[in-house]
Chain A
């Protein structure tokens, strides 16, 4: 069956460092992959989309890579800030639906 794995343990980093979150998947060949941010008690907010034929995508301090051979996406936040603290979800795209991972909580301390 399809499986998406994100680190279940929270990632704790110091302000100013680069945060790297991992999304691994099995039994899936997604056409694209998306990353979302979710704050407690709120709906997720879209951050980035990367397609299967793209290796890397950037948006301001965010960078996403997509390796279809390794079946892995890495999500980087450079120069992290306490305001970046949230849960980050990866989602794999099919024809008409998205399948979400459980998310990784990021905690950035001052």
Chain B
């Protein structure tokens, strides 16, 4: 089945530790995205990539880093510089947006202890 796989689904981290969230897609999509969702908030864009080896900052990139070495993979690292990292993280992919929609993974819930 084609889709997007995020892992882990739940993650706990101590303050001061970096953590990497995995996102893999087998939809052959060029574009991939990371969003963050907090209770009562909409989805906020962290980073996006329209092509391999290229990515752009979204609205809330501070404290996060990404890489796009393969078309299928777009991992997100939450660094210790992110002041409030506890959130629900969503990865998505798409063909060119104006032609279609975002396909989302099931999300990763990060809790900082």
Contacts and interface: CB of A to CB of B under 8 A. Distances in A.
Nearest to B59: A99
A102 interface: yes
A61 interface: no
A21 interface: no
A46 B103 contact: yes
Query: Which are the 6 A-B pairs with shortest beta-carbon distances?
Result: A43-B104, A46-B101, A100-B43, A102-B42, A100-B42, A44-B104
Given A42-B106, A43-B104, A97 B33 contact: yes
Contact of A96 (B90, B97, B103): B97
A96 B31 contact: yes
B43 A44 contact: yes
Interface of B: 4, 31, 33, 35, 40-45, 48, 50, 58, 88, 90, 92, 97-98, 100-107, 109
B95 to A, nearest CB: 12
Contacts of A91: 102
Contact of B98 (A8, A43, A45, A93): A93
A4 to B, nearest CB: 7
User: Taking chain B's interface residues, is the majority helix, strand, or loop, or is none over half, making it mixed?
Assistant: strand
B98 A98 contact: no
A49 interface: yes
Give the interface residue-count category, chain A: 20 to 34
A32 interface: yes
A13 B67 CA distance: 45
Interface in A19-39: 31-32, 34, 36
A4 B45 CA distance: 14
A91 B35 CA distance: 13
A8 B42 CA distance: 11
Given A43-B104, A43-B105, A96 B43 contact: no
A49 B100 contact: yes
A101 to B, nearest CB: 5
B98 A32 contact: yes
B97 A98 contact: yes
